[in-house]
Amino acid sequence: MLTGIQIVLAGGDARQLEVIGRLTELDASVTISGFDRLDTSFPGVTKAEWTPEVLQNADALLLPAVGTDDEGTISAVFTDRELKLTDAHVAAMPKTCKIYCGMAKPYLRKLCEKHRVELIELFERDDVAIYNSIPTAEGAVMMAIQNTDITIHGSVCMVLGLGRTGLTLARTLQGLGAKVKAGVRREDSFARAFEMGFEPFYMPDLARQSGNIDLLFNTIPTMIVTAQVIAQLPLRACIIDLASKPGGTDFRFAEKRGIKAILAPGLPGIVAPKTAGRIIANSLTQIILEDKGQRGSAP
């Protein structure tokens, strides 16, 4: 149980609703900011203005999936007001308070370093990333179906990166009857791809491998689908880039060549917010309970 733990949630989307529900089930004291347009009521949850004072007794601050933007703005779909995380907010937090988010941009990292506040990026955890890969893969397949006039079955699909998301996606496509080509960098990834029945190739060979594919899925957050690669793609191909913004695709050249290219980060929160919220809630509560246990056993 989280009895006595003070948790503040600032901004977010539908995923946060699942988190709020889970925290209240565990008897945490929950305060939410940036939810003034929310119709759903949560018994025992306090709504508060986003001021430094709201954080004075907090044990944890939960921010949205992308903690803040490069100027400190917190994404908040349930309010028309702007929420910003400032020096004053972080300075008001107790020294033991931790900040949780999915992933952090430099602004948030620097702010936490300046005030010596522990920052926990949930999406960096293997368990969270693997759980999140399931709705990501389903969302990617949904986008492929919506943006092509062929079936996944029998198509030639290329997946770049066999990390936690790429591996789940490649298996999903294969299960639907696609021929899957997998772009990898390491020898162990090449061997695993071969063992799983994919057609592996090394990234330096990407342009040559791109000549006869229907769908290209990128999971690598660096410029990998370059103009040289896009120039080799057939005009029927569709690129679905799952990497975080700005993605790893030359979207300008893809548009110029007439190839459909879609940047689609954050699919779990779009296609399955309830499931994605449960994933965040389970990870968050597990970390807090573990921390609470350590604090409780300290001399």
Position 298 scores a pLDDT of 36
pTM for this entry: 0.87
Please provide the size of the chain in residues: 299
d(CA 87, CA 108): 10
Position 41 scores a pLDDT of 80
Set out the domains of the chain in order of their start, with CATH numbers: 6-124+272-297 (3.40.50.720), 127-265 (3.40.50.720)
Task: Write the CA distances from 29 to 60, 63, 123, 263, 278, integer angstroms.
Answer: 11, 16, 24, 38, 18
pLDDT of residue 38: 86
pLDDT at position 11: 95
- Measure the CA–CA gap between 60 and 2, rounded to whole angstroms: 12
3-state secondary structure of 119: strand
Q: Determine the pLDDT at residue 294.
A: 53
Q: How far apart (Å, rounded) are the C-alpha atoms in residues 158 and 224?
A: 13
CA distance 136 to 148: 18
Q: Is 21 helix (H, G, I), strand (E, B) or coil?
A: helix
pLDDT of residue 40: 79
Are the CB atoms for 239 and 262 separated by under 8 Å? yes
pLDDT at 296: 44
pLDDT along the chain (299 residues), means of 10: 94 94 94 91 91 96 95 95 96 96 95 96 94 96 96 98 96 98 97 97 97 96 96 97 94 97 93 94 92 54
The Cβ-side half-sphere exposure at 85, using a 13 Å CA radius, reads 32
In this predicted structure, what is the pLDDT of residue 245? 86
